[in-house]
Structure 1
Amino acid sequence: MYTRPSAVLLFGALAAAAPAPVPQESFVPGTDSQISASVQPATTGYREQVYVSGYTSATFHGEYTGTPTTVGAANAPATLAASIPALPPNPTATYYNSQGVPLNPMPAPYMPAGGLGTNGTLPRYMVESDFDFESIALGLYQEWIELDLFHDGLARFTDEEFTEAGLGPEARSLIEFMADQETGHSTLLTNMLGERAPAQCYYNYPYTTVREWVDFMQRVTRFGESGVWGFINHLDSREVGQLLAQSIATEARQQMIFRQMTGLTPMNVHFENGWPQSWAWTMLAPYISYCPQNETRLAWQNFPTLRILNNPNVNRYSPNDTAQDGSEQVGPRIVDPSVSNLTEGSCQNLNVTGYGCDPAIAHNKSEPLTFPGRKVLFEWEAPGQAVGPNNSYVTATTAGAPKFVGWSQQLNLTYTPLTVTGNNTGYSYQPLGYVYGDNGIINGTMAVMLTDLDLYVTPFNTSMLNPHIVALGLYMAG
């Protein structure tokens, strides 16, 4: 049932173009086609809007085989500098309250002075800058793939396969509801962007089993969540940030649930890490096979892939027995899940406390996935690889030779020296460190990168590291 959005909440939004559905038999990989979610117009009394009203499973999942007609990220009329310079604190950042009471007159009863968007102006829930548009467009690409991804596994696998993976009808119903959540998120972001909002694409997924699907989803929702935390407080539109925060709170719950379904601890950090947009786009783009003609392009960077050859296999009861050559990931892409069909050492259907990994509210691992001092093996691609929709984006880096490994986690970005062992291969050791008390800095599904400089950055300015990143990867810590 369609419920009309509030006119105030979506004031000023424009109508997003909705390609007409194409019969399933007419789709040919490498040619233009439909989005797989139908969109119908709705009005709020201000401007026409859209509502993502339903979902039809994509007619194709696989590699793009055509020739790209456009190559490279979207460009502005000019680029002003090679990087953003480091500056001292904002000269207006001087407020300090040592008295514990309001220091300035209140504009209204019980309303302390200050704050943004609190002066009574009517909220406008639309992007207000190029930064806003490109950020929310990235978020919409993310919501579209999740809408398709959550549905795809439900359609691909049998009831028997779900039962074998420990996911009964109620768990599958929950995943179906999470897919419905993406319908709402896609509607929201589409209306905040307007008629050039990206449409849904076709995707190339790596999984072949239920557990690999669930593992892949917990990784996808990690960069979906962290990618928003990284830019949300930099948006020019506070109104857009407000609604986006209300959607990403749900994304965080999804990531936690998929970790539970994988048999991982649902919450193993004190703080979720925020990532720059280019990190999220680098991880997302390789799984987009094909987009409709004239799809809105993104300006964000695609970094070369950093493979972690001994990334712990979440399906092993002893994850540190994982092979050292990358063979226990299903493929070479950054977010590819761990292989689940193990001939020995599997934690599936193992009813042993501390070692089993069947779906559960929580598991305590007797043997952790990783530990400080663990030798981590790396292999990285050279730039210039064709990735993303229609193979039309190209990986790039402006960094020099790699010297450090950056571990981005919680409130920290920590560096360790990189030892280069060959042509685009090397290793480092997982660092020891703490946030507060005994809360270790390295935990969870986290970003790692090779850099040419150990640049000091904090959670609010992590994007300043981008010009120094050689390659980007995803580490399963714990």
Structure 2
Amino acid sequence: MVRCKTAAGAVLLSLATCSIAVPVEDVVSVPTTTFTSEPASTAPVRPHTNVTYHGPYTGPPPTTTGALTTDVLAPSIPALPPGPNAYDYPSDGKLHAPLPAPYTPAGGDGTNGSAPVYRMLSDFDYESLALVLYQEWIELDLFHWGLATFSVADFEAAGLTAEDRYLIQFMAEQEVGHVTLVSNMLGAQAPMQCSYNYPVANVREFIDFCQKLTRFGEAGVYGFLNHLNAHDVGQLLLQSITTEARQQMIFRQFEGLFPMPEWFIVGIPQSWAWSLLSPYISSCPENQTRLVWQNFPSLNILNQPNPARTNGADVWNETTGGYTNTLSTADISAEDDCLNSNEVGVGCGPAITRNRSVPLSYPGRQVFLEWEAPGQPIGPNNSYVTSTTAAAPVFAAWVSQLNVTYTPLQGIEGNKAWTAQPNMSTFEGDPAVNGTMFLVLTDLDLYVTPFNLTMLNPHVRAVALYQAG
């Protein structure tokens, strides 16, 4: 519907484009014809349905178990020095080769005029995009499931209006596009929609789980994006994952958290993302495409900060379980529930931003940990198995922004220990431990940086999300 006014000020409402009469002295250009066009043809989306079952896997034991594999050439990738030409380019602000075309500097990948094909070029590409598709499918279902499971009154009690609920619906529609894009690039064997289980009992737990799920979905792509052989595929995936990043921020705002407390968004290895995702996939169709990635054991943070509390750091065992460590509201009294406060710095109702006076976590905080033994069935149809090649853990690795910082485990007793949150910054003024970040246990304080974080995988004992802010 188009709204316009006549020169006399009368309001007209029309379903078509309308012309506006204005005084001649105000004219910039005068439309003489109203143009219309037939709708352009649009590519179809990948077929999808509302999943009818949500809950743990209850079917027969799987006939195929473990990650997809073939011959293994070595127990790990050896650490090597930088490549032979790593320091050749002088970076002096001058041009060092002829321009292939006007205003076009020499170099770059895919800049020679050859047409992009948007196809996988390696097993690495395929397995990475297949992991992304598993992630997109669960997000599509999760957003719809939350809207169908909880009532209008439930959402409104959490401070979320009809417009907020529509935003969640729209995010589900975005996932239809993501599923279609990734499926088209993968081809006929692209993973299919599965059934799922979610560790939530109410709207606030649902929102917390959504913001954590979108965080490891986003971070999992950032970790491999620049390693893809198919850079054209990476371009389209980048245009998808930037939307996911905004979804994660929206769910933080719905939860009453500061929307983006970090200066840089962390990237994580695919096996971390798959470990965090797979427990929430119950079963998949027969002959579903399997993944190569490792399933690490879960890490339960016994005093995981709880954003639903007025003092989120003063907490003990208020999560719905390991891996995501999603908040639980079950034991929060009305007095301690920050949703019941309108005080600036204390209240945590949905908002564009909240600057909470009492931090969820802080340097020096004791963090108590408990981790599972490997060998647990997990993931679709319980057909994957958790594993690790690490020795007994001795460090906690805080993986956030551009940093990996190790703190020693203290008081180790069996599969329990504690550590202290480190006090470090990415750059001056930017606390590195902040936001929804990653905590893993390791047997070695290996030096790694964002581009080679997967080198840490052989030393990882367990993984989790930590709600630092």
C-alpha displacement of 1:336: 4.0
Match of 1:364 among 350, 355, 369: 355
Show CA shifts across 1:47-78 (max 9, x none).
xxx6225x5321100010121121000012x1
**Residues in 1 aligned to 2:170 and 2:222: alpha-carbon distance in whole angstroms:** 23
Could you say which residue in structure 2 is the equivalent of 1:408?
A: 399
C-alpha displacement of 1:333: 3.1
Aligned pairs for 1:316-465 within 5 A:
316-323=309-316, 326=317, 328-330=318-320, 332-341=321-330, 342-343=332-333, 344-465=335-456
The answer on 1:217 being equivalent to 2:210 is yes
**Residues in 1 aligned to 2:54 and 2:190: alpha-carbon distance in whole angstroms:** 22
Change (3 A) 1:118 1:273: same
Show CA shifts across 1:181-220 (max 9, x none).
0000000000110011000100011111111100100000
The answer on 1:171 being equivalent to 2:164 is yes
Show CA shifts across 1:221-274 (max 9, x none).
000000000000000000000000000000000000000000100010000000
Contact 1:206 1:336 in 2 (8 A): no
Could you say which residue in structure 1 is the equivalent of 2:155?
A: 162
**Residues in 1 aligned to 2:366 and 2:381: alpha-carbon distance in whole angstroms:** 37
Show CA shifts across 1:138-174 (max 9, x none).
0000000000000000001111111111110000111
Contact 2:322 2:464 in 1 (8 A): no
Contact 2:304 2:325 in 1 (8 A): no
The answer on 1:83 being equivalent to 2:76 is yes
Match of 1:69 among 51, 63, 70: 63
Q: Structure 1 length as normaliser, TM-score?
A: 0.88
The answer on 1:201 being equivalent to 2:194 is yes
Change (3 A) 1:111 1:390: same
**Residues in 2 aligned to 1:471 and 1:420: alpha-carbon distance in whole angstroms:** 17
RMSD: 1.3
Show CA shifts across 1:266-310 (max 9, x none).
010000000000000000000000100000000000000111000
Contact 2:159 2:349 in 1 (8 A): yes
Aligned pairs for 1:93-172 within 5 A:
93-172=86-165
Q: Which runs of 5+ in 1 are unaligned?
A: 6-41, 43-49
Change (3 A) 1:374 1:247: same
**Matched letter for residue 153 of structure 1:** G
C-alpha displacement of 1:409: 0.4
C-alpha displacement of 1:98: 5.0
Change (3 A) 1:157 1:283: same
Contact 1:73 1:297 in 2 (8 A): yes
**Residues in 2 aligned to 1:299 and 1:444: alpha-carbon distance in whole angstroms:** 29
- Classify the secondary structure of the residue corresponding to 1:362: coil
Contact 1:286 1:333 in 2 (8 A): no
- Classify the secondary structure of the residue corresponding to 1:257: helix
Q: Structure 2 length as normaliser, TM-score?
A: 0.89
**Matched letter for residue 328 of structure 2:** V
Structure of greater Rg: 2
Q: Which runs of 5+ in 2 are unaligned?
A: 1-38
- Classify the secondary structure of the residue corresponding to 1:282: helix
Change (3 A) 1:151 1:423: same
C-alpha displacement of 1:424: 0.1
**Residues in 2 aligned to 1:203 and 1:309: alpha-carbon distance in whole angstroms:** 25
- Classify the secondary structure of the residue corresponding to 2:338: coil
- Classify the secondary structure of the residue corresponding to 1:241: helix
Contact 2:325 2:465 in 1 (8 A): no
Change (3 A) 1:175 1:110: same
Change (3 A) 1:4 1:456: farther
- Classify the secondary structure of the residue corresponding to 1:321: coil
Change (3 A) 1:171 1:98: closer
**Matched letter for residue 380 of structure 2:** P
- Classify the secondary structure of the residue corresponding to 1:233: helix
- Classify the secondary structure of the residue corresponding to 2:340: coil
